[in-house]
């Protein structure tokens, strides 16, 4: 049995694409076409394997992870996390995204360590990598998990929450449209974006390890991951 048939038994590679991560994936508002870093990588991996491919679209990383054992995809672009490793084998990271806190401009919170206090509420996207990380590391603050595109800037301005946690580019957009908000200067974590395979597909995991080593050494990964 060939490597291609072991990695993608259907004959077509299925890539799980999380359109909820605006840094890695973008959707054209007019055409609906999906592009960005993850799509660049998918095309390059398919070329390396000389196989056709499809993009399986998901709205969140949580949805991708939940389908890891359902034969829904062959490769996925999601952040590494110990909890997710129960069902997914992760590559080394190919891209890092800062996780940052957003607060009201008049908030007394000025540093990351001041967030973890009794009485402080922190909004996170349910099941996101930073949710899993903060669930392990915040001992005193209360975590409020949101689903979908609930506007955390409105939650902040309505005093529903004290802090919003998320990827820095997305948090920065809130500040751009609302000067009454501000970002804390230091990231609270670096989110390691990786290529995952279902744990049962070790041939796929080994291929991705070799693929990324070659792509890094050739400098191709920098071109594929260039943010426009």
**Per-residue pLDDT tens over the stretch 158-178:** 888 999 999 999 899 999 999
Model confidence at 134: pLDDT above 80: yes
Q: How confident is the model at residue 3 (pLDDT cuts 50, 70, 90)?
A: confident
Per-residue pLDDT of 93-133, as tens digits, reads 999 999 999 999 999 999 999 999 999 999 999 999 999 99
Position 153 confidence tier, pLDDT thresholds 50, 70, 90: confident
Does residue 179 register a pLDDT over 80?
yes
What band does 200 get if pLDDT is binned at 50, 70 and 90?
very high
Angle between helices 202-218 and 37-49 (to 10 degrees): 110
Query: Chain-wide mean pLDDT for the chain?
Result: 93
Whether the Cβ atoms of residue 95 and residue 24 lie closer than 8 Å to each other:
yes
Instruction: Tell me what pLDDT residue 154 has.
Output: 87
Higher pLDDT, 22 or 217: 217
- Please name each of the domains of the chain with its CATH number: 3-95+193-224 (3.40.190.10), 98-189 (3.40.190.10)
pLDDT in the model for residue 228: 58
Residue 150 pLDDT: 60
DSSP per position, 98-162 = EEEEEEETT-S--SGGGTS-TT-EEEEETT-HHHHHHHHH-SSSEEEEE-SS--HHHHHHTTS-S
**161 phi, psi to nearest 5 deg:** -135, 165
pTM of the predicted model as reported, rounded to 2 decimal places:
0.86
- Other residues' Cβ atoms within 10 Å of the Cβ of residue 128: 26
Greater confidence, 168 or 147?
A: 168
């Amino acid at each position: 049995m060939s490597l291609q048939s072991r990695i993608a038994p259907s004959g077509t590679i299925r890539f799980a694409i999380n359109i909820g991560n605006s840094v890695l994936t973008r959707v054209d508002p007019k055409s609906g076409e999906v592009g960005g870093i993850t799509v660049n990588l998918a095309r390059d991996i398919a070329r390396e394997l000389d196989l056709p491919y499809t993009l399986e679209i998901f709205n969140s990383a949580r949805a991708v992870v939940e389908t890891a054992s359902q034969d829904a995809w062959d490769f996925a672009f999601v952040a590494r996390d110990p909890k997710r490793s129960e069902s997914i084998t992760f590559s080394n990271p190919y891209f890092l995204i800062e996780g940052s806190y957003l607060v009201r401009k008049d908030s007394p919170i000025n540093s990351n360590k001041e967030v973890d206090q009794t009485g402080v509420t922190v909004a996170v996207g349910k099941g996101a990598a930073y949710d899993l990380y903060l669930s392990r590391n915040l001992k005193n603050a209360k975590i409020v998990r949101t689903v979908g595109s609930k506007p955390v800037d409105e939650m902040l301005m309505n005093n529903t929450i004290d802090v919003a946690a998320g990827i820095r580019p997305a948090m920065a957009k809130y500040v751009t449209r609302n000067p009454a908000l501000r970002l804390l200067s230091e990231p609270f974590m670096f989110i390691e974006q990786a290529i995952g395979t279902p744990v049962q597909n070790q041939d796929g995991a080994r291929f991705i390890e070799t693929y990324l080593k070659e792509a890094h050494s050739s400098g191709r990964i920098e071109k594929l991951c260039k943010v426009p």
